[in-house]
Structure 1
Amino acid sequence: MMSSVNIKASRLKFCKVDSVNLRIAEENEAMRSFPLRTIKVLVVIGDAKDGLDVLLNCAEKGIPVQFIHENGRFGCRLQMLDDRRSLLADWLPHVDANRTWLGAYKTWHYEVTTRVILRSWARLERWQDLGKIRDQIGRDILKSKNLEITLFEELLAWLDSLLKIDLLAVLEVRGVQAGSEAAQRLLQDLLPPYSVWLACTWLKDQRPLLPGHNTAEQAIALYGRLIPKLKENMSLELKELVSIFEKMV
């Protein structure tokens, strides 16, 4: 089963990769070993000072390396270019030039957004309301969870970054590489409704944050329990879009 591997840069003591395994040791923790074939993405938390050669090696082996700042802000990404193409990667950059394609894409986008918002039980009165909905939910979370504003903002930034990592992983399975024009279009259109869903799910979650853990650990644990079926839903939405485009070829 493919999974993400999180590396806390400030606590990294040992990092080595061979032909089949990645081995990591952090402060006060035992050595961890991960078969390369099971790693979906390496998530490096904080400023990496050691092990950059290993991270580059992993990227060259086809494992994306995603950097996230300590405050949860999405950082740069190391990834080998892949020459394989897909229908989404080929068509999306040109969808605006064809009225029929654009109409089909807009219809799909509207239906996806509506479904995601309905799952979150948020109220969508106008298409442009997603940002306002997210802001209102944020205020409700801040009030109901009794969080300090700094912690809340960092947790929200972390959740958004983790959401983006998952969406990029789903896109790559569909042959759409991170950084491509097609990926940017889909991120722009899919992240807003899914971020509303994520915030709504957090608001309804009654479990407290983990005591004695830093913000990154809190956010990763929170994200993991909020939306276990997120990638499955995203994959189905993209499969539907591929099917729409295939019928138009």
Structure 2
Amino acid sequence: MTEENSLISHLIELRSRLLRAVLSVLLVFACLAYFSNDLYQLLAQPLLKTLPVNSSMIATDVASPFFAPFKLTMVLSFFLAIPYVLYQVWGFVAPGLYRNEKKLVGPLLFSSTLLFYTGMAFAYFVVFPVVFAFFTSVAPEGVTVATDINSYLNFVLKLFFAFGVSFEIPVAIVLMCWTGMTDAASLRQKRPYVIVGAFVVGMLLTPPDIISQSLLAIPMWILYECGIVVGSFYSHKEDDEEDEQPESDKSGE
């Protein structure tokens, strides 16, 4: 197989897998579209439970009652389809990986998905009730708390993404240790800087209050420590590398 034909075949496969990934998101969206208002109602529960009596969420834009649930459903469809999307990514890159790389990448894809979902769940069940209760309790007297549904959606999606990505810290550490970028001993020495950095990241990604900042920074620190423990078992060793070729090279011989 010539180099040009090989490139074309790879591009065709890439297009096919991207199409499957997009179709999976659209399929999930089609299944959830009917329940978009119910999904938004579920998302709004942490705030609604903390609002004062006779207070509710509002829509300041004419189209917000339609577009806010629609946007939520689309984003949720992508989140739910992430396992299949990652499977398509895995199917595309797997033939070019060594056997020892396949043994690590598979579990990393699974763990990264699980950690992302865990971060979102932590934000919904732990962070949201605490943060919204704090915000509504400090409202000045005479001020009615009535949050716009579109502003609320943007706010919670930002937190979902922040916590979901932050919970990927162990995966990032394992990859750095495995590739030889760093090792567990070096990461332990950097612990004080990481703790300070975690609070800085929490300050930048969360609302301007110490509660939500700490609720992001402390889990990041704990996950950093977990990543060091796991990463110590995946230290890069030149002597242990296999000399075998990737499957894609073998097939071309």
Decide: shared fold, TM above 0.5.
no
Normalising to structure 2: TM-score of the pair?
0.27
More helix by share: 2
More strand by share: 1
Normalising to structure 1: TM-score of the pair?
0.27
Larger Rg: 2
Greater length-normalized contact order (CA 8 Å, ≥ 6 residues apart): 2
